[in-house]
Amino acid sequence: LGGYSYPEQLMDIWHFDQDKFDNLKDLIKLDTLVTPPYSLWTLPEKDLASHPYIGKRAARSIVIFRENSRKADWTVSNLQKAGILAPDKASKLARCRIASPSGH
């Protein structure tokens, strides 16, 4: 998915629970210099929908938000304010490394 900023995020993947994490945590290495940022602002709806913090309904709404908002307004906080993301999902997504809207 990209954008991981801390190892515990793996537990947000379907069927990746605390037991699996505990059994593998010594093998998990996260290098934020190598891990690509998540392309929230450029991915198509289908790809957004597969993210564990987004889902199908929010993915469609994010695409509509992008089409109808200035790039300066493209923030996870604004997605929450618009009712696109629930506070818990927005909080988790905000902790991810997200590529800037301009791609830089």
- Name the residue ranges covered by the structural domains of the chain: 7-94
Per-residue pLDDT at 14 exceeds 80: no
Counting residues of the chain whose pLDDT is more than 70, the rounded percentage is: 85
pLDDT of residue 89: 94
Burial of 23 (0-12, 13-18, 19+ CB in 10 A): exposed
> What is the distance in angstroms between the CA of the first residue and the CA of the last residue of the chain?
19
pLDDT of residue 29: 73
Backbone torsions φ then ψ of 32, nearest 5 degrees = -70, -15
Question: To the nearest whole number, what is the mean pLDDT of the chain?
Answer: 86
pLDDT tens digits, one per residue of 24-70: 778 777 666 777 888 999 999 999 999 989 999 999 999 999 999 99
